[in-house]
Chains A and B, each alone.
Chain A
Amino acid sequence: MIDLVAKSAAEGLLPVTIGALTLSEIPHREVHSIAPFKGAKVSTALKKAVGIELPEAGRSTTKGDVQVLWTARGQYFLIGAKPPKLPAAITDQSDAWCAVALTGPSAGDALARLCPLDTAKMGQGDVARSLIGHMSAIIVKRVDGFETIVFRAFARTLVHELRKVMTSLDAQAALPD
């Protein structure tokens, strides 16, 4: 059988550091979308199986390497674990997304140029569905910056957009007052 070479979504593009900001790809993880059926109780069954409950809207829950993100109305992403049998529509989306981490003290300023969210109001573990330029994105606030997740096909565009902003911010920081 042909031995295929596995490539990450942003293979050869990342990591990149410009000024005080670093953009790096988050290693490939198992991602399952969980959309609970109408009125179904999913949270306790999930906690029993993987140790964490479904988060509130706009939040995430984490335990070790396993994470659950709220991603839309009635939709969650289970990351880093196999889902148990649940009264929910479950799809494997592991190879459908590209996740990057934008870290550094001015990560919020960089996002502000591309994203209509008020990221200053986001606390650690907050999740928002919004836009990066014209791309639909999932944005997660981390201690050191932001994680942005877009459709895998947009990986190159995402890196391009963020690099442009990082370069511009760095150039502006170097200007005399």
Chain B
Amino acid sequence: MRINCPICGDRDWREFYYLGAADYLNRPAEGDLDAIHKYLHIRENPAGVTKDLWHHEAGCSSWLVVERNVTTHEILGVELAAEVKR
């Protein structure tokens, strides 16, 4: 698997660390327990396109949002997490 890092270009998967669903970017407001429960524990698990957070650990150190199809392993898009949040 290769991920096209927006900063470094096309790189081997060995340089990356997987964190989890990109939902982690949308932290709910403090005190909203129901939303925090969903944020921490409830995930969609589609057999298809997912958005995940990857860290370019051995490269430029950027957090990336990688959109990929888990059934075909095709990578559809890569963005810097810092730019997705804005």
Residues from chain B with Cβ under 8 Å of A58 in the complex: 7-9
Say whether A29 faces chain B, with CB atoms less than 8 Å apart: no
- Interchain CB contact (< 8 A) of A136 among B10, B58, B62: B58
Inter-chain contact total with CB atoms closer than 8 Å? 36
Interface pair B9/A129, CB less than 8 Å apart:
no
Which residues of chain B from 1 to 52 have a CB within 8 Å of any chain A CB?
A: 7-12, 14-15
Interface string of A47-76 (1 = CB under 8 A from B): 000000000011000000000000011010
Partner of A129, one of B8, B10, B12, B14: B8
Does chain B have a CB within 8 A of A116? Answer: yes
Which residues between 63 and 102 of chain A lie within 8 Å of chain B, taking CB atoms? 72-73, 75
Q: Is the CB of A72 within 8 A of B61?
A: yes
Residue A131 lies at the interface, judged by CB distance under 8 Å to chain B: yes
Taking A129-B60, A130-B58, A131-B58 as contacts, is the C-beta distance between A57 and B7 under 8 angstroms? yes
Interfacial chain A residues near B15, Cβ < 8 Å:
116, 130-131
User: Which A residues lie within 8 Å of B7 (CB)?
Assistant: 57-58, 73
| Distance between Cα atoms of A146 and B15 in the complex (Å) | 19
**Residue A128, interface by CB 8 Å:** yes
Closest to B62 in A: A73
Looking at the complex, which one of A57, A75, A131 makes contact with B8 (CB distance below 8 Å)?
A: A57
Chain A contact-residue range equals 10 to 19
| B61 and A73 contacting across the interface, CB-CB below 8 Å | yes
Report the Cα distance A118→B10, complex, angstroms: 9
| Whole-angstrom CA separation of A75 from B62 in the bound complex | 11
- Give min CB distance, A82 to chain B, whole Å: 26
Interface residues of B (CB under 8 A from A): 7-12, 14-15, 58-62
Which residues does A use to contact B, with CB under 8 Å?
A: 57-58, 72-73, 75, 116-118, 128-131, 136
* 22 A-B interface contacts by CB (under 8 A): A57-B8, A57-B60, A58-B7, A58-B8, A58-B9, A72-B60, A73-B60, A73-B61, A116-B12, A116-B14, A116-B15, A118-B10, A128-B59, A129-B8, A129-B59, A129-B60, A129-B61, A130-B15, A130-B58, A130-B59, A131-B14, A131-B58
Q: Considering the complex of A and B, which 4 residue pairs feature the smallest CB-CB distances, nearest first?
A: A116-B12, A73-B60, A72-B61, A131-B58
